[in-house]
Structure 1
Amino acid sequence: MTSKKTRAFDDVLPGQALPELVIPITVQLITAGAIATRDYFPGHHDKDAARELGSPHVFMNILTTSGLAQRYVEDWAGPGARFQDLKIKLGAPNYPGDSMTFSGEVSACDAASRTVEVTLKGKNSMGNHVTGTATLVLPHGAGDRT
């Protein structure tokens, strides 16, 4: 059981900012993410192969980015939130030695379905690595976990 509380739908408003989350980009994160998602493309784990492709170093795959984006939103929403959808677009690559800073805000709320849409971006030193939206269902109040 976790001590983290689930955010209640009644406490969320459009325009509400999510706290920033900084993710250090390391060779280990990139390589482990690629292996965990069974993405054995050499550009995600072999620096020489990445350079042959014109990249200065190994670079993060989309599935790792997707997982990090979902983590960012779910950390804000809490364990009782139900994740419904994630739509992302990639931009600047993530390379080791950089960091990616996630930011976001609530862009829409639907009281009938208790859904909340969050607009998010993950930015590194070259610009936006990822932009997108996530949709979650939140419980009504403190005692409601459905």
Structure 2
Amino acid sequence: MKAGDELPTLTIPLTRTLIVAGALASRDYQDVHHDAEAARAKGSPEIFMNILTTNGLVGRYITDHFGPRCTLRKVAIRLGAPNYPGDTMVLSGTITEVTDGAAVVRVVGANGIGHHVTGTVTVGLPEGTV
């Protein structure tokens, strides 16, 4: 593993169920995450994914790649284009730094209208991995 290595992509279908379930699981009861009429009344064409669900999906992407013994030390993300139902988000990552016991990964999640999420994740690696 070295800086510049790319992680395999992860394609996530953005279903209404995923968006609503993610909001409920993270106790985010804002109506724009589950009520299409309320979302439209507030200027959005449809319900959209909350940041906590996105954060969880980014964490899943990293731990799926590095394995169950890794630890997420820092997740720093920024949202961009909303994730609406019926679209697809593709997560990709590039290792930017590898130190003793850790790696930093630049993560991008893109959907049909642009970058939904960008950021970096610092992941602690099990002894002997690096």
User: Structure 1: which 5+ runs fail to align?
Assistant: 1-11
Partner of 2:64: 75
CA RMSD of aligned residues (A): 0.9
Q: TM-score, normalised by structure 2?
A: 0.96
Number of aligned residues: 129
Q: Structure 2: which amino acid aligns with 1:137? A: G
Deviations 1:102-137 (A, max 9, x none): 0001000112xx110000000001000000000111
Partner of 1:54: 43
- Superposed, which structure 2 residues align to 1:92-107 within 5 Å? 92-107=81-96
2:128 paired with 1:141: yes
Structure 1 position 140, deviation (Å): 3.7
Structure 1 position 82, deviation (Å): 1.6
Structure 1 position 36, deviation (Å): 0.5
Structure 1 segments, 4+ long, off by >4 Å, are: none
Q: Structure 2: which amino acid aligns with 1:83? A: L
Q: TM-score, normalised by structure 1?
A: 0.86
Identity %: 50
SS at match of 2:40: helix
2:7 paired with 1:18: yes
Q: Structure 1: which amino acid aligns with 2:73? A: Q
